[in-house]
């Protein structure tokens, strides 16, 4: 009997793939709940979303082909919603060409608004071990300069903070500066969502495109252990408050709820929990988390997580691969310096003496010059050279492995 191939993951669906495979297909099925988060391509395909004929998918006559960067989530979805075991799934190479990004002026700028003692004390965060000694906030003149130097009008700005950004004193001014300098940009704010000041939120929703709320877990009990506070119900309530305000005022703001992939998470419970949001147009992103040995200084977070029963699904791989973060999380930090990825600042490594991890102070250099340095680092990674000071001891590269696992074979020839 003729077999049918099914594609999942719209981000990954390129013309090339369609051309190569469509003649062999009986059914082309497109599903993705997160594509909008990463690329504009997803928005194009999103309207094509249809529900799959689950009785056909379950049939033994079908081959399931998956092309996605969200392999873990797709695998879970197939298993829980369609009862398809992973041995029936064939994965296609992630089709983006890594080399296309080398030395290119970045389209994404991660901006860390400041560092302060956080209201939470997450087991996976350096704040659990060491709080910032003093508050420090990004100078808005430096921000203006950096945003002006971003050459792409449709740049993406990802705003976070080494504490709760919704409490950052420079938040609204920073957002307004970005919107004024780059009216066509995408602005996303990354928050834990524990607070909801109506005045701040209503102002914020006028300017941003996306708000990502890191809930991380699906029960109040797990939240208490992982995040160190009793704010689970407050965060869920704030998600709904945000949704209600956005809908009532007809604003084009996407809400993304982020849940972390720990081994203890039961897929069926996750889907049940996520469904309440997805059904109302709130995106849910199942996020890989890695064992936090990222920098040796914070190695103990890894054992703390495991001791409390929060073992990440993702394990540190043997060997070494280029780091995806180096290609997409270029970071302006509250100290006014650029760093090659946001892991350096989110681990407080931007506070080390002499700024040894920095690519330069924004006030004294141009983004163009900094990008040349970034390009050199990217090239080093692609040549399997991880000797640079920043990346040498870091293991956060593990997070992006799904992007490059297949690609590398081709790249390295």
The residues of the shown chain that bind ligand SF4, judged by CB under 6 A, are: 118, 120-122, 125, 127, 162-163, 192, 323, 325-326, 340-341, 343-344, 390-391, 394, 396-397
Which one, 17 or 220, has the nearer CB to ligand SF4?
220
11-17 contacts: CB < 8 A, separation 24 or more?
11/35, 11/38, 11/39, 11/41, 11/42, 11/68, 11/69, 12/67, 12/68, 12/69, 12/92, 12/94, 12/95, 13/45, 13/67, 14/95, 16/95, 17/67, 17/92, 17/95
Q: What three-state secondary structure class fits 225?
A: helix
Q: Output the smallest distance, CB 134 to ligand SF4, in A.
A: 16
Q: In angstroms, what is the minimal distance from the CB of 151 to ligand SF4?
A: 22
| Smallest distance from ligand SF4 to CB 37, Å | 19
What 8-state DSSP symbol labels residue 111? Answer: E
Nearest-angstrom CA–CA distance, 191 and 258: 10
Helix or strand (DSSP H, E) at 221: helix 220-227
- Nearer to ligand SF4 by Cβ, of 188 and 323: the residue is 323
Query: Least distance (Å) from ligand SF4 to the CB of residue 344?
Result: 5
Q: Which is nearer to ligand SF4, 13 or 391 (CB)?
A: 391
- For residue 110, the minimal CB distance to ligand SF4 (Å) is 11
Residue (5 or 138) nearer to ligand SF4, CB: 138
Residue 312 is classified by DSSP as B
CB of 111 to ligand SF4, least distance (A): 15
* Closer Cβ to ligand SF4, 43 or 393, answer by number: 393
Length of the chain: 413
CB 83 within 8 A of CB 128: no
Q: Which CB atom, from 122 or from 138, has the smaller least distance to ligand SF4?
A: 122
CB of residue 217 vs ligand SF4: minimum separation in angstroms?
A: 12
Minimum distance of ligand SF4 from residue 72's CB (angstroms): 19
Q: What's the Cα-to-Cα distance from 4 to each of 62, 85, 352, rounded to whole Å?
A: 5, 16, 55
Residue 174, H or E segment: helix 171-181
CA–CA separation, 144 and 156 (whole Å)? 15
Q: Which is nearer to ligand SF4, 282 or 344 (CB)?
A: 344
* Residue 170 vs 325, nearer CB to ligand SF4: 325
At closest approach, how far in Å is the CB of 26 from ligand SF4? 41
Closest CB to ligand SF4 among 42 and 193? Answer: 193
- And the tokens for 294? 């990222």
The two structure tokens encoding residue 34: 């997160």
Query: Quick check: 235 and 192 in contact, CB under 8 A?
Result: yes
Nearer to ligand SF4, 42 or 165 (CB): 165
80 Cβ contact list (under 8 Å, min separation 6)? 267, 268, 271
Residue 188 beta carbon to ligand SF4: minimum distance, rounded to whole angstroms: 15
323: Cβ contacts below 8 Å, ≥ 6 apart: 341, 381, 391, 394, 396, 397, 400
Distant-in-sequence, close-in-space partners of 87: CB < 8 Å, separation ≥ 6: none
Smallest distance from ligand SF4 to CB 87, Å: 32
Q: Which is nearer to ligand SF4, 172 or 316 (CB)?
A: 316
| Distances, alpha carbon 62 to alpha carbons 1, 57, 190, in Å | 10, 6, 39
Residue 97 tokens read as: 């060409």
Per the structure block, which two tokens stand in for 19?
């051309």
């Amino acid at each position: 009997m003729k077999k049918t191939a099914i594609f999942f993951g719209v981000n990954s669906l390129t013309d090339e793939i369609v051309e190569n495979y469509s003649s062999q297909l009986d059914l082309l099925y497109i599903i993705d709940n997160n594509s909008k988060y990463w690329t504009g391509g997803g928005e194009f395909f999103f309207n094509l979303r249809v529900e799959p004929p689950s009785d056909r998918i379950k049939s033994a006559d079908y081959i399931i082909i998956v092309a996605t960067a969200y392999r873990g989530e797709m695998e879970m979805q197939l298993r829980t919603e369609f009862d398809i075991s992973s041995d029936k799934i064939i994965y296609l190479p992630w089709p983006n060409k890594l080399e296309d990004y080398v030395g290119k002026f970045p389209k994404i700028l991660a901006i860390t608004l400041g560092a302060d003692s956080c209201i939470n004390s997450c087991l996976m965060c350096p704040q659990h071990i060491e709080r910032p000694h003093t508050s420090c906030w990004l100078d808005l003149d430096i921000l203006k300069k950096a945003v002006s130097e971003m050459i792409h009008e449709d740049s993406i700005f990802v705003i976070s903070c080494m504490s709760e950004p919704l409490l950052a004193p420079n938040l609204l001014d920073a957002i307004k500066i970005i919107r004024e300098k780059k009216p066509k940009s995408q602005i996303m704010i990354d928050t834990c969502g524990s607070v909801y000041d109506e005045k701040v939120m209503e102002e914020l929703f006028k300017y941003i495109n996306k708000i990502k709320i890191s809930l991380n877990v699906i029960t109040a009990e797990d939240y208490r252990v992982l995040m160190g506070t009793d704010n689970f119900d407050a965060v869920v309530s704030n998600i709904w408050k945000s949704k209600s305000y956005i809908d009532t005022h007809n604003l084009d703001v996407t809400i993304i709820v982020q849940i972390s992939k720990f081994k203890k998470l039961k897929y069926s419970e996750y889907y049940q929990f996520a469904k309440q949001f997805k059904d109302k147009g709130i995106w849910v992103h199942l996020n890989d988390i890695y064992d936090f040995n990222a920098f040796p200084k914070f190695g103990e977070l890894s054992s703390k997580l495991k001791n409390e029963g929060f073992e990440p699904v993702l394990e540190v791989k043997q060997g070494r691969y280029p780091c995806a973060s180096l290609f997409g999380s270029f970071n302006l930090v509250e100290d006014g310096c650029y760093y090659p990825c946001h892991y350096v600042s989110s681990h407080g490594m931007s506070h080390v003496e002499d700024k040894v991890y920095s690519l330069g102070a924004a006030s004294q250099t141009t983004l163009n010059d900094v990008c040349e340095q970034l390009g050199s680092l990217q090239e080093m990674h692609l040549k399997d050279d991880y000797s640079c000071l920043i990346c040498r001891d870091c293991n956060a590269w593990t997070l992006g492995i799904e992007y490059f696992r297949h690609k590398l074979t081709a790249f390295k020839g």
